[in-house]
């Protein structure tokens, strides 16, 4: 229940002299003229979750600003003083993307870290998230942060924390850091007086080392040489990929790469976009126009911190089709596994990683080729944790999640849009070398492993009221689960909050061997799978739908695709989404 008097009291504390004048002025305006804005800005503290902070920029405890960031940085610093490998010589890497205030927030963080006696490895200008992960590893840092809100709207920024392996923090460090951050009760506890001598600037030397690792992933350099003129269009969507992706493609040997120049201008207002999210078809509109002009065959877009990749491919009819994250993941998985198998590089201990809401097609490709597939919860922190556990025992060769994030190599422990661009371009070159487009290659994969139709529906609920609505929706699905959806009986429910799988036919309950997470999955008698989870980074609840069937040959695609599409749409309609 919202207590407006408590909120006004909380806001009034931000009128003190410890806050700068622009902050005091913004809070004063909300107190006097904008009660709704005041509530949203102060009804809670911006939650420092397992990945860090992410929120709308502005004054307030529920906003991303130098004070909420500062308290998070001080809490992280306090934890590192107790748990770093060498607490007397802590090193932290810092990167940032193109968003408004990102470079400023990065400097604030660097000053706080050095005020705590740490050495800060600060990138000289904006860099992709995967390069930060790489820098943490090669400079033996104890942790790293990148100032980014990934693909969120322009009003957002964030603060993502990684541990010493370059992956996002997991247990026990996640809860430990959260507790330290929550123990910071006042901005006066933030260390002041940064030491510039303890800031080490990172630049081209780190870029070259990172790109050398990207180049090592290439599986068929001779095929690229034969297809070096293949037309490629790339857009960084005003973000950090503007330099690194074209350089990676050049190093691979591609000679006909066109960039969307208007979107190579780094700008946190994203002036040419409705949303800087490569999952959204609108985001690739300018790139598609350029591809038609240049007669290119492949279109690629990365999000502002270049950890996600969206692509469009040309069909035999000449029109372009945007692939979803599952389809791109299937192409990458098939290409890596098939070519390693052809090259004799599969020794029997290789594995890929998939998430529980990503297409089961990736599992089938791996299993049919003798490669193990591990399923984890949503989020690349779970990829990194598993890779750390299996290091020296099994060999990671790839993986991804439906939300356009992929990791083709193990030198990075986060999503890598740069390397993914290079390898999907190489897969397109392989297809061209065999007289096919990437679209035709995807149809071949469907014919061999099964046709999967997946859809994602996001239900947005903003602010304090929205958060409560999302909570009630999840509660309703748990307390009163549907017995039937679109005429098909619910035969199994997996609840990752209770970590129990309930077979509704036999009544048997079995444990789910993953961490607790607010995710529900409903399995229908006709094979349809529905996954429901609140987003951890945006004010929305996400519904994932998957239906599949076997396909004898590519000639059946259109007919079977429509059947699966109709089945999924009937489920969406029945759920009133």
User: What is the bridge-based pairing of β-strands 320-322 and 309-314?
Assistant: antiparallel
Output phi, psi for 462, to 5 deg.
-90, 155
HEC per residue, 455-503: EEEEEECCHHHHHHHHHHHHHHHHHCCCCEECCEEEEEEEECCCCEEEE
DSSP E strands: which ranges in 196-279? Answer: 199-202, 232-235, 257-259
Residue 156 and residue 304 in contact, taking contact as beta carbons nearer than 8 Å: no
Half-sphere exposure of residue 15: CA atoms within 13 angstroms, side-chain side? 12
Query: Rounded to an integer, what distance in angstroms lies between the CA atom of residue 132 and that of residue 163?
Result: 11
CA dihedral 191→192→195→201, nearest 10 degrees, is 80
Q: Quick one: which of 406, 428, 190 has its CA closest to 297? A: 428
150 is catalytic: yes
Q: Quick one: which of 455, 355, 456 has its CA closest to 405? A: 355
User: Which is the catalytic residue, given 102, 133, 150, 403?
Assistant: 150
Radius of gyration, CA atoms only, the chain: 24
Residue 346 and residue 338 in contact, taking contact as beta carbons nearer than 8 Å: no
The contacts of residue 525 (CB under 8 Å, 6+ apart) are: 488, 489, 490, 491
Report helix, strand and coil shares of the chain as percent, to nearest 5: 40, 20, 35
Residue 303 and residue 416 in contact, taking contact as beta carbons nearer than 8 Å: no
Output phi, psi for 129, to 5 deg.
-55, -45
User: Which neighbouring-strand residues pair with 56?
Assistant: 156
User: What is the bridge-based pairing of β-strands 405-406 and 395-401?
Assistant: antiparallel
Q: Left if phi > 0, otherwise alpha if psi is -120 to 50, otherwise beta: which for 447?
A: alpha
| DSSP count for the chain of H helices, then E strands | 18, 23
Residue 46 and residue 55 in contact, taking contact as beta carbons nearer than 8 Å: yes
By three-state DSSP, how is residue 370 classified? coil
Q: Quick one: which of 92, 121, 417, 120 has its CA closest to 243? A: 417
Helix (H) or strand (E) holding 338: helix 325-342
By three-state DSSP, how is residue 234 classified? strand
In the block, tokens 């999302």 appear at 470
* DSSP secondary structure letter of residue 19: S
The contacts of residue 285 (CB under 8 Å, 6+ apart) are: none
Query: Rounded to an integer, what distance in angstroms lies between the CA atom of residue 166 and that of residue 71?
Result: 22
Please give the positions annotated as active site.
150
């Amino acid at each position: 229940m919202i207590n407006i008097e408590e909120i006004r009291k909380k806001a009034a504390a931000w009128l003190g002299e410890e806050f700068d004048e622009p902050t005091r002025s913004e809070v004063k305006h909300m107190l006097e003229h904008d009660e709704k804005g005041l509530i949203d800005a102060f009804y809670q503290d911006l939650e420092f979750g397992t990945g860090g902070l992410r929120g709308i920029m502005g004054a307030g405890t529920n906003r991303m600003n130098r004070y909420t960031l500062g308290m998070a940085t001080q809490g992280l610093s306090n934890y590192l003083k107790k748990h770093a490998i060498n607490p007397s010589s802590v090193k932290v890497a810092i990167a940032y993307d193109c968003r408004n205030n990102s470079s400023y927030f990065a400097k604030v963080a660097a000053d706080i870290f050095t005020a705590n006696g740490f050495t800060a490895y600060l990138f000289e200008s904006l860099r992709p998230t995967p390069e930060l992960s790489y820098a943490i590893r090669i400079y033996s840092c104890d942790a790293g942060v990148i100032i980014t809100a990934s693909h969120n709207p322009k009003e957002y920024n964030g603060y993502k924390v990684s541990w010493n392996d370059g992956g996002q923090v997991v247990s026990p460090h996640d809860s430990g850091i959260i507790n330290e951050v929550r123990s910071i009760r006042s901005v006066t506890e933030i260390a002041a007086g940064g030491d510039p001598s303890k800031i080490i600037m990172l630049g081209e030397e780190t870029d070259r080392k990172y790109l050398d690792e990207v180049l090592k992933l290439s599986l068929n350099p001779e095929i690229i040489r034969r297809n070096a003129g293949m037309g490629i269009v790339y857009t960084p969507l005003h973000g950090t990929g503007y330099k690194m992706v074209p350089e990676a493609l050049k190093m691979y040997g591609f000679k006909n790469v066109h960039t969307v120049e208007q979107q190579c201008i780094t700008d946190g207002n994203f002036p040419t976009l409705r949303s800087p999210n490569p999952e959204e078809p609108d985001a690739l509109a300018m790139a598609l126009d350029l591809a038609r002009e240049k007669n290119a065959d492949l279109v690629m877009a990365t999000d502002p911190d270049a950890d996600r990749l969206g692509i469009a491919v040309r069909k035999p009819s000449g029109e372009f089709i945007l692939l979803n994250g599952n389809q791109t993941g299937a192409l990458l998985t098939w290409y890596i596994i098939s070519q390693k198998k052809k090259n004799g590089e599969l020794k029997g201990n290789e594995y890929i990683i998939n998430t529980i809401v990503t297409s089961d097609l990736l599992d089938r490709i791996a299993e049919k080729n003798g490669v193990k597939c591990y399923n984890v919860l949503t989020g690349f922190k779970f990829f990194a944790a598993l890779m750390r556990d299996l290091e020296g025992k099994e060999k990671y060769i790839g993986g991804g999640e439906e939300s356009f994030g992929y990791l083709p190599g193990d030198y990075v422990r986060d999503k890598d849009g740069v390397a993914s661009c290079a390898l999907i371009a190489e897969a397109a070159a392989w297809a061209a070398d065999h007289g096919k487009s990437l679209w035709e290659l995807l149809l071949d994969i469907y014919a061999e492993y099964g046709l999967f139709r997946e859809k994602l529906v996001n239900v947005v609920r903003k602010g304090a009221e929205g958060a409560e609505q999302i909570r009630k929706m999840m509660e309703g699905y748990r307390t009163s689960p549907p017995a039937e959806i679109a005429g098909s009986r619910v035969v199994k429910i997996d609840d990752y909050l209770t970590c129990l799988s309930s077979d509704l036919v036999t009544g048997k309950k079995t444990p789910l061997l993953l961490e607790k997470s607010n995710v529900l999955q409903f399995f229908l008698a006709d094979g349809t799978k529905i996954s429901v989870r609140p987003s951890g980074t945006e004010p929305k609840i996400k519904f994932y739908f998957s239906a599949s069937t076997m396909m004898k040959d590519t000639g059946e695609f259109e007919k079977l695709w429509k059947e699966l599409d109709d089945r999924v749409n009937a489920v969406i309609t029945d759920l009133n989404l």
